[in-house]
Structure 1
Amino acid sequence: MSKRAVLEVIALDVEDAVAAQAGGADRLELVTDMAADGLTPPVAVLTGIRAAVDLSLRVMVRLADGFAAGAANDVDRLVRTAGELRAAGADEFVLGFLDAHGCVDLTAVERVVAELDGCPWTFHRALDHAADRDAVRKQLDGLPGLDTYLTAGSADGVDAGLPTLLAEAARHTEPGYEQQLLVGGGLRLGHVPRLRAAGLNAFHIGGAARPHGWTGPVSERSVRQWRRTLDAAQPE
């Protein structure tokens, strides 16, 4: 039997979380402000969702649009935010910072990760905007808690990034490539069979779970359709 694929759904509030769990999601990514591609949610949202569902929750650590951590005082705020989330019970996270040259901002990442105290975390789609994906992976390899990369393979989405995703999946035993690939960013149901056949087993959806767009809630029916599609597409 093949391993069940992980389905992660973006949740903005308790209503989203309940619908995602009912539809068969395995994990939620908690964010606010999708106009800025997802920022850190208020602690009250975290605690409300934690009380409403029993899924794994990965909480975004990001305070401004873009992938820059900002100046030293901005990094201080990120560290404080991570500490507040930890104190409120968060135990899984999402983050990722680049410098002006598209290289990983290792100082900022390391400072935030130190505050997470070994909790598991995802390096998000900053990877897709990096100047050198391989360099990012090798620089981050070995950081405590890093177990996942959220990526479309390209800044332009899965359609453009599919060859990169397949190539990186084939390198999963190499240093820097052992973390789970969580495919997200322009992901469609039609992509699933090929990705599953290549052994990819983690998928991330946001707008695809919302038939009425970001102004509407997560649809239990949409999530269930993704769950069934993932379960039906078995890897070779």
Structure 2
Amino acid sequence: MSNRALLEVIALDAEDAVAAQAGGADRLELVTDMAADGLTPPRETFAAIRAAVDIPLRVMLRAADGFAAGDVEGLLKDARALRAEGAQEFVLGFLDADGTPDLKAVEALVAELDGCRWTFHRAIDRAADRDGLRKALADLPGLDTYLTAGAADGVDAGLPTLLAEAARRGEPGYGPRILVGGGLGLHHLPRLRAAGVDAFHIGGAARPQGWSAPVDPAAVARWREALA
């Protein structure tokens, strides 16, 4: 088995997607509205991106900024529409006000996804009890990834947590892959790779000119080379 790490890049539109794939991205996370940290993209945007690239796409299911589920019926409707358009992989994650996982909302969406693979996103970094969250979600079908920085403030603060969780691989709740993202820098990679972490997520790092500019294939290529 290859030790090549997975590189996931945030894409807002087809231009981003083409650039990310050209730079060597293995997978895209599709979102809209990064001012709200990424919401569900329109069905039409998914269709345009799906037509433009042939790498896997994970589509965000999130209705509003923050970690409350909000309009669950709306999210279910979005999930149905995206699946009808061909979406097969998703990203979601909701917390109750006390920082525990909103199992009612998560389970409703997972039932709608009917076996599709999905990532529980950085809501884990705001959880009151990370270990408890992992164990509460452990038996949900399709959950194969946690997108996490290890801490709400990003990888600089979360690195010890990420290394500790990587060391627990195989324990109950620690089966899903760790996908590191959120303030991730190239300088973090050696320690994470040495710990066995093999999946990485970039957003702003793929856009040296900022979020108002498209993904830069050369920036993606630098990450792909560093992860080779």
TM category (shorter chain) comes to over 0.9
Shift of 1:65: 0.5
Shift of 1:143: 0.4
Partner of 2:95: 98
In structure 2, distance between residues paired with 1:89 and 1:18: 18
In structure 1, distance between residues paired with 2:80 and 2:114: 10
Which of 166, 169, 177 is matched with 1:169 structurally?
Answer: 166
Amino acid at match of 2:32: T
Amino acid at match of 2:9: V
Is it true that 1:22 corresponds to 2:22 in the alignment? Answer: yes
CA deviation map 1:130-172 (0-9, x unaligned): 0000010000001010000000000000000000000000000
Shift of 1:123: 0.1
How is 1:31-180 mapped onto 2 (pairs within 5 angstroms)?
31-70=31-70, 74-180=71-177
Shift of 1:2: 4.8
Q: TM-score, normalised by structure 1?
A: 0.96
In structure 2, distance between residues paired with 1:2 and 1:170: 20
Q: Which runs of 5+ in 1 are unaligned?
A: 232-236
Shift of 1:117: 0.7
Identity %: 74
Runs of 4+ aligned residues of structure 1 deviating over 6 Å after TM superposition are none
Q: Which runs of 5+ in 2 are unaligned?
A: none
Q: CA RMSD in A?
A: 0.7
Which secondary structure state, in structure 2, belongs to the residue aligned with residue 122 of structure 1? strand
In structure 1, distance between residues paired with 2:139 and 2:84: 25
Which secondary structure state, in structure 1, belongs to the residue aligned with residue 208 of structure 2? coil
Amino acid at match of 2:106: V
Amino acid at match of 2:29: E
Partner of 1:218: 215
In structure 2, distance between residues paired with 1:2 and 1:200: 14
Shift of 1:76: 1.2
Which secondary structure state, in structure 1, belongs to the residue aligned with residue 227 of structure 2? helix
Which secondary structure state, in structure 1, belongs to the residue aligned with residue 54 of structure 2? coil
In structure 1, distance between residues paired with 2:2 and 2:105: 38
Is it true that 1:9 corresponds to 2:9 in the alignment? Answer: yes
Which secondary structure state, in structure 2, belongs to the residue aligned with residue 58 of structure 1? strand
